[in-house]
Amino acid sequence: MDQAPVRRIVIAGGGTAGWIAAAALVKLIGPLIEVTLVESDEIGTVGVGESTIPTARTFHQLLGIDERAFLRETSSTFKLGILFEDWAKQGDRYIHSFGQIGKSTWMGDFHHFWMQARAEGWGGELGDYCFEYQAAKAGRFAIPDQGHINYAYHLDAGRYARFLRGFAEPQGVVRVEGRIERVEQHPETGFVTALMLASGERLEGDLFLDCTGFRGLLIEQTLQAGYADWGHWLPTDSALAVQTASVGPAVPYTRATAHEAGWQWRIPLQHRVGNGLVYAQAFLDDDRARALLDSRIEGEKLIEPRMIRFKAGRRRKVWDKNVVALGLASGFVEPLESTSIHLIMIAITRLVQLFPFGGVRDGVTARFNAMSTAEIEKIRDFIILHYHLNQRGDGGFWDQCRTMAIPDSLAERIAAWRDGAIAWQASDDLFRVDSWVQVMLGQRLEPRSHHHMGRMIVEGELQGALGKLKSDIANTVAQMPAHQDFIDRYIAG
């Protein structure tokens, strides 16, 4: 059956996913389509995705969002990376920074030079050669007039959704208040044709975006697209989230601190701190989790902790018939590396690139699904890496993570690193070589060998080059303002 042209887009659900989608569609292809978003004030959103990665900046630039206005209205702060504490062993600390480490060559990446230097007894720490790493460690931040700094944001998810609504509605997005009571489908194709609201209003559309969170009202409850469960690799399934008053200046990094059955996040915003305890119910019951969270947070609680249940995995079809799932409706890889908002942004960008103006057809949906699957599975592997490479001695949860079978794709990466310090970023990889290197070293996976290209450099030249790079970074960081001071001046400008 020939499919009708696609012009009417109906977004089911608001929150971060819904309003990111609405803002992108109306800004990028608005003259060609009609966008309606339906959400209900009666239905809450998860609203705790408060940390991003640098791709968020690219997305904002694509939409023409003013950074200062965004920071002011969302109480955002800057983020240079994630501080991991107690992951490989209790007492360990390392930073997964967003920066480029050193300078690489066609023959090999910078870490091979550093490993040669370390083998000779003078290399220092790998982070010495990364500007963003040193700035994060020092609690400093600035956007240089010349040069480059790679950063992301910590943000208030509720305020972010309101900010995007204020951006999208003046450009033509129509918001409908209401609760979806029934989903209508074409009797032959199974395509969704309309959403019936409790008010009696009927919203027809050609393409529907499911932003209804974990329940997946359209993609799963209606179309039964299926779900690939990754709980055997990522066993955490619960989180307690709470907001606290700030007890000091905001730092330019997220803190991820491991505990007996998972980890705790701490995300500094301008007006408060976002906290959460991620855990596996099989190893920590809810009452003990709440007590553990209470014992580890700093500052006065502004709300009572909120319970969130989740299941790591992905939708088997993110795009099924004429429904595209976004955000939590499409799948979930726990928030350890702050990838949830990125996955929304890249999905809607991909949809714009593959937009089915001439009608929804299998070739387009298959391509979209293949790209989505490849990316989220590689993100999954990167998250598993943190858990699997642990040497903690507290048994239970961590023993299971260390001894579990892992995906072949991750086993291949670990073997290549262990045997030859080889790391790579494929075309559909989100995380760069520097990210893999920082986490594998941070998790105490020391390679047995490395490329010896450093030995070909004239004696003294390598030491001089690395010494200059280290001192240049240290000098630049020393001249930067404290992160909180920069924010205060920047948003006032």
Q: How far is CA 108 from the centre of its chain?
A: 28
DSSP string, 355-416: --TT---HHHHHHHHHHHHHHHHHHHHHHHHHHHS---SS-THHHHHHHS---HHHHHHHHH
Question: Nearest to residue 451, comparing CAs of 414, 412, 416, 409?
Answer: 416
Q: Is the dihedral of CA 190, 191, 196, 197 positive or negative?
A: positive
Residue closest to 38 by CA, chosen among 223, 221, 165: 165
How far separated are the first and last CA of the chain, in Å rounded?
57
Structure tokens at 125: 């720490």
Q: Could you give the angle at the alpha carbon of 131 between the alpha carbons of 126 and 137, nearest 5°?
A: 75
* Residue 89 bears catalytic tag: no
Give the tokens for residue 89: 């062993």
Phi/psi at 115 (nearest 5 deg)?
-65, -35
Backbone angles phi, psi at 423, to 5 degrees: -135, 155
CA gap 443, 383 in Å, rounded: 12
Nearest to 207 by CA among 9, 1, 3: 9
Q: Which ranges of 146-265 does DSSP label H, i.e. alpha helix?
A: 157-168
On the CB side of 54, CA atoms within 13 Å amount to 17
φ/ψ of 473, rounded to 5, equals: -65, -45
Q: In this structure, are residues 32 and 357 in contact, taking their beta carbons and an 8 Å threshold?
A: yes
Of these residues, 79, 137, 317, 321, which one is catalytic?
A: 79
Which residues have a catalytic role annotated? 79
